[in-house]
């Protein structure tokens, strides 16, 4: 449990799952618009949110199923790329919240309640008017003060960045983002220079060495170099091979709509047009959305609601129903009325907000 002034944030295990819970709602004037935004969407960088109301009381609940605490992440040795990636994620938070009319100052930025997944911070957002959370720039300084850096890397960038924050050369998240991008560009240039040096090794050899190289290349047999490629040639061949693999995968995606698909008994398929992913749903009932509780979870799409639509079987037919989503459900281009069922047929186009799927049985 952690006390924030008069606010109490605690961890609870509910039905075997870990949650972060805050229960001082009534005394702090809940922001109903922000609550609606959080429940109907899933902004990147925020923990999945739900307002739980029961006879015994009410509380905000945040799912903590993934990742580790930031305080634990800071105790582990982190590579330079990990630290830069984490900080770049912080710079994107303000823009992300503005899209949903949410305030950055309502996030809990304490390291023991921030989760880290794949070097990206996940925050609990408190949709109440009286709460003022931490500052992302202050959190950046705390991270730089506490992180355990890898001793075998150039870690002077940490001190340069920390000093820039102290001198107020960096005054907002946009300037921090620019600073971090410059670090990434400089690192990339160093790698390119290193590679160019490797390429030029043979060209810089004295003439007698080049003549000796030619003589060796003419040799046949087990120890001759005839038929062997130089490191640069091998690198080029590897790039060509990877490029070919990427092209093959793209062709496979394009051909998915012409593929005959077979599904497990009692299931149907949804083919996602933008990515070629195939989702299998249960015939009895399948709720589609972005929430962890959805039967068919479409991750990473902000326009799809947490519980957007459902597909179910009734009377020997398959039906589609919009569950009051924010951005609508379409069947073959027709906008559906919320809470009204529509019959599905093989090959129908289902569009959730701006994501199109092909229904296949």
Considering the chain, what is the average pLDDT of its residues?
Answer: 77
How far is Cα 323 from Cα 306, in angstroms, rounded to an integer?
A: 10
What pLDDT, on a 0 to 100 scale, did the predictor assign at position 266? Answer: 54
Report the 10 Å Cβ neighbour count for 190.
Answer: 11
Helices (H), the chain: 32-40, 70-75, 80-99, 136-146, 156-166, 173-199, 207-218, 231-255
| pLDDT recorded at residue 243 | 56
* Phi, psi (deg, nearest 5) at residue 334: -100, 125
Q: Which of 10, 25, 8, 99 is nearest to 303 (CA)?
A: 99
298-305 mean pLDDT: 84
Residue of 167 and 190 predicted with greater confidence: 167
Residue 120 belongs to what H/E stretch? strand 120-122
Q: Which two tokens stand for residue 305?
A: 């609601």
What residues have CB less than 8 Å from 330, skipping those under 6 apart?
Answer: 336, 349, 350, 351
| Higher-pLDDT residue of 224, 50 | 50
* Interval 257-286: pLDDT, tens: 333 333 444 568 888 888 877 888 776 788
Residues 15-42: what's their mean pLDDT?
84
pLDDT at position 142 over 50: yes
Asked if 161 contacts 155 with a C-beta cutoff of 8 angstroms, the reply is no
Nearest to 338 by CA among 317, 307, 301, 297: 307
Each residue of 172-205: pLDDT tens digit?
888 888 888 887 655 555 544 444 444 444 444 4
CA angle 351, 45, 52 (to 5 degrees): 80
How many angstroms from the chain centroid is the CA of residue 134?
23
Please give the Cα distance from 272 to 178 (Å, whole number).
Answer: 35
Output the pLDDT for position 220: 41
What pTM was computed for the model? 0.52
Confidence check: pLDDT of 231 > 50: no
For residue 215 the two structure tokens come to 């003589």
Q: pLDDT at position 25, please?
A: 77
For the chain, give the longest Cα–Cα distance.
91
pLDDT > 70 in the chain, percent: 73
Burial 124-140 (b: 16+ CB within 10 A, else e): bbbbbeebebbebbebb
Q: For the domain made up of 267-360, give the CATH fold.
A: Tumour Suppressor Smad4 (2.60.200)
Instruction: Tell whether the model's pLDDT for residue 214 goes beyond 50.
Output: no
- Collapsing DSSP states into helix, strand and coil, what is residue 66? coil
> What are the tens digits of pLDDT across the range 63-122?
988 789 999 999 999 988 899 899 999 988 888 888 888 988 899 998 888 999 988 999
Q: What does the DSSP 8-state code read for residue 337? A: P
Query: What's residue 251's pLDDT?
Result: 52
Give me the pLDDT at residue 181, please: 81
Which residues is 318 bridged to in the sheet? 313, 344
Residue whose token pair is 């091979």 = 241
The pLDDT of residue 238 is above 80: no
Poorest-pLDDT segment among 72-81, 148-157, 163-172, 233-242: 233-242
Residue of 293, 295, 302, 305 whose CA lies nearest to 65: 293
Q: What does the alpha-carbon distance between residue 193 and residue 183 come to, in Å, rounded to a whole number?
A: 16
Q: Report the alpha-carbon angle 197-201-205, nearest 5.
A: 145
pLDDT, greater one: 24 or 186: 24
**pLDDT at site 182:** 80
The burial of 355, by beta-carbon neighbours within 10 Å (0-12 exposed, 13-18 middle, 19 or more buried), is given as middle
């Amino acid at each position: 449990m952690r006390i924030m002034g008069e606010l109490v944030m605690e961890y609870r295990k509910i039905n075997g799952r870990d949650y972060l819970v805050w229960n001082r709602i009534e005394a702090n004037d809940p922001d109903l618009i922000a609550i609606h935004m959080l429940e109907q969407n899933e902004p990147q960088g925020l923990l999945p949110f739900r307002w739980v109301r029961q006879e015994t009381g009410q509380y905000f609940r945040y799912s903590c199923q993934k990742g580790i605490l930031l305080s634990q992440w800071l105790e582990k040795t982190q590579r330079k790329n990990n630290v830069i990636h984490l900080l770049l994620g912080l710079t994107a938070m303000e823009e992300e919240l503005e899209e949903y009319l949410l305030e950055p100052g309502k996030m809990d930025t304490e390291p023991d309640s921030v989760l880290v997944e794949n070097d990206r911070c996940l925050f609990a957002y408190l949709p109440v008017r009286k709460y003022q959370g931490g500052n992302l720039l202050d959190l950046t300084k705390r991270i730089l003060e506490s992180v355990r850096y890898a001793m075998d890397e150039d870690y002077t960038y940490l001190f340069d960045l920390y000093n820039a924050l102290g001198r107020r050369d960096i005054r907002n998240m946009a300037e921090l983002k620019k600073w971090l991008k410059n670090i990434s560009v400089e690192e990339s240039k160093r790698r390119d220079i290193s590679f160019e040096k490797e390429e030029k090794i043979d060209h810089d050899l004295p003439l007698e060495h080049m003549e000796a190289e030619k003589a060796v290349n003419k040799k046949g047999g087990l120890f001759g170099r005839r038929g062997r490629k130089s490191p640069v040639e091998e690198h080029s061949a590897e790039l060509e091979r990877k490029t070919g693999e990427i092209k093959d995968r793209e062709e496979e995606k394009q051909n998915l709509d012409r593929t005959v698909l077979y599904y497990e008994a009692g299931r149907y398929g949804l083919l996602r047009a933008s990515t070629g992913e195939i989702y299998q749903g249960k015939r009895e009932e399948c709720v589609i959305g972005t929430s962890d509780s959805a039967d068919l979870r479409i991750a990473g799409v902000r326009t799809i609601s947490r519980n957007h639509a459902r597909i179910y079987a009734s009377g020997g037919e398959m039906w589609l129903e919009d569950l009051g989503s924010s951005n609508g459900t379409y069947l073959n281009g027709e906008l559906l009325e919320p809470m009204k069922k529509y019959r599905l047929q093989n090959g129908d186009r289902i569009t959730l907000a701006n994501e199109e799927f092909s229904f296949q049985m």
